[in-house]
Every structure is written in structure tokens, then in C-alpha cells.
Chains A and B, each alone.
Chain A
Amino acid sequence: AQSVSQHNHHVILSEAASLELGCNYSYGGTVNLFWYVQYPGQHLQLLLKYFSGDPLVKGIKGFEAEFIKSKFSFNLRKPSVQWSDTAEYFCAVRSYSSASKIIFGSGTRLSIRP
């Protein structure tokens, strides 16, 4: 069965630190990959997505993610975080054959110290 693993449950960083949140999935076929973000008190929103092409995907608010097929990974990065990046981040994967069934990871809570 497909699964998505986010190994870091809670990450604490200081402002201006670099960020990398891990995401690994288990599925051998073609996949679409997503990162969603949920800021405190706000609804979930799509941060970025990978369907095909350049494996380095740029999203909103300076975030990017790199799809490494050989490692089944889609890690989220940001070179310099801000206090406003405090949020919960969810990685998600959809296998090419599963239409709209997207599997979400358990989420990583990111806390930024001002």
C-alpha cells in the first residue's frame, strides 16, 4: 500500500536558519507530489506541486522542493525561514493511476523562534 513518511514531527528553528523537511513515499510507479501548509488558525493551502519535468519545484513564499526519484523523496526547503513560517506542513503523494486519491503524511510542525 502507498504510504508517506514525514520523519520529523516537530522542528524548531531560529529565524534566518535554513530549513529542510523530509518526505519519503513508498510507491514504485509514476507519482504526483505535493506540499501543503496550514498556518495557525487558517485553512490548509497548497504550497507547491510536482507533476513532471524539472525535479526542482518552486512554490509560494520562497519554498522549494526537490523530487529525487531514486530516493523516493520530495524534501521541502527554504534557505532562510521567518517567524511567519510557523505552521504545520504536510507532504502528499498521488500515484498516477489513483485519480484523486492523495495520501497525506502525518505532518511536521515547524516552530520558528523570533
Chain B
Amino acid sequence: DVKVTQSSRYLVKRTGEKVFLECVQDMDHENMFWYRQDPGLGLRLIYFSYDVKMKEKGDIPEGYSVSREKKERFSLILESASTNQTSMYLCASSSPGEGNQPQHFGDGTRLSIL
């Protein structure tokens, strides 16, 4: 069974801090995604990656960056955290054989920026 592991379930940080959210998948998937989930807005794509060192902007990349140095790990970085980045962050992975849509999700990281 595919496992997508996000490093923290809950995280509290202060405005202006640099924040790292880590995601690891154990199925050698090419595709990895970062979404944020907010009530009434559904899921919004921040960044995705379809291979090591490859990244594509999603719909709301401002204020975020990503890193994919190894195939199994996709990191989301908040360069200078702000209160409007308080949200639930979801990581997902998939393979081209599954259709390239986000197929396997992590449990999420609930991030609060004070």
C-alpha cells in the first residue's frame, strides 16, 4: 500500500519565519503535489513536480517555493510566513500509469502562523 508521509500533523510558527513542510512517498512515484485546503475553497494547487529537480507552479505559488532533490521527497517552503498562510497543507503523489492525477494523499499538516 502506498504511503505518503508528511513530517508534522500540527505546526505553529511565527510571522516572518522560514517554514519547511516535508513530504515523503515510498512508491517511487514520479508525480508529487502540494495543495492547501481551506474551508469553502476546496483544494488549491501550490506546486507540483513530475520528476526530480522538476517543478511547476500551480494556481497559488506566491509566497511558496519547493524542492525535489530526491524522487521520494518533496518539500514545501514558506519563505517568510504570513498569517494568511495559516491552512491545512496536503501532499500527494501519483504515477503516470495511474493517470497523473493526485492519487495518494498524506494526512495533512495543519499549519498556524501567529
Contact = CB atoms under 8 A, between A and B. Distances in A.
Which range contains the number of B residues in contact with the other chain?
Answer: 20 to 34
B99 A44 contact: no
Nearest to B49: A100
B44 A32 contact: no
Contact of A101 (B40, B41, B45, B99): B45
Nearest to A105: B42
Nearest to B31: A100
A46 B42 contact: no
A43 interface: yes
A104 B48 contact: no
A51 B99 contact: yes
Interface stretch (B10-18, B65-73, B79-87, B103-111): B103-111
A59 B35 CA distance: 24
Interface of B: 4, 31, 33, 35, 40-45, 48, 50, 56, 58-59, 90, 92, 99-103, 105-108
Interface of A: 4, 6, 9, 32, 34, 43-46, 49, 51, 90, 92, 94, 99-107
30 contacts: A4-B42, A6-B42, A9-B40, A32-B99, A34-B101, A43-B4, A43-B90, A43-B105, A43-B106, A43-B108, A44-B43, A44-B105, A46-B101, A46-B103, A49-B99, A51-B99, A90-B42, A92-B101, A94-B101, A99-B50, A99-B56, A99-B100, A100-B48, A100-B50, A100-B102, A101-B56, A102-B45, A102-B101, A102-B102, A104-B35
